[in-house]
Amino acid sequence: MTLLISVFAAIIATIVWYKNAPKDEWNTGMLALMYWGASLMWMCDAIFEYAELKDEFFNPAVADMINDSFLGLTVVALGLVIWLVALLVKDPKGVLKAKFQTKKIN
């Protein structure tokens, strides 16, 4: 479930990036790459898990699936938080910069 949720997050972020390309004012390219990186890593993890569990891998317990879903959503939220912090630090529209400069003049 975590892998599935992160893959969907990566696809959505890529679509948003592509819609605004080649301009990437909102830094969505970074968000998409982050989710793709995580998805690839979880895919690798899933392959190793499948090699160990075989058929059992496709029949997880309901409680495990719910727990994994919450983890997936938390992962998506953390990705968004990292992206938001990076966006505010980069400040492409210069909103924060302008605010601090105005304060300095006053």
Partner 1 sequence: MACFIVPATEAIVTTIAAKVLAKKEMNTEIHHEGSSEIIEKTGFSRKLNWLNNMLWGGSALLALEHVWHGEVVPWFPFLTAAADAADRAEMFHEMATVGVSMAALVTVTWGIMVLVSSRLEKRATKTATQKN
Establish if 33 lies at the interface with partner 1 (CB under 8 A): yes
Residues 6+ apart with CB under 8 A from 46: 3, 57
Q: Is residue 1 classed as helix, strand or coil in its secondary structure?
A: coil
**Start-to-end Cα distance in the chain:** 53
Best CA proximity match to 26, nearest among 95, 96, 106, 88: 88
In the complex, least distance from residue 59 CB atom to partner 1, rounded to whole angstroms: 20
- Is 76 in contact with 6 (CB distance < 8 Å)? yes
Establish if 3 lies at the interface with partner 1 (CB under 8 A): no
Of residues 54 and 100, the one with the C-beta less far from partner 1: 54
Establish if 73 lies at the interface with partner 1 (CB under 8 A): no
Residues in contact with partner 1, shown as a per-residue x/- string from 34 to 53 under the rule CB under 8 A = xxxxxxxxxxxx-xx-----
Contact residues toward partner 1 (CB under 8 A) are: 2, 6, 29-30, 33-45, 47-48, 71, 74-75, 78-79, 82
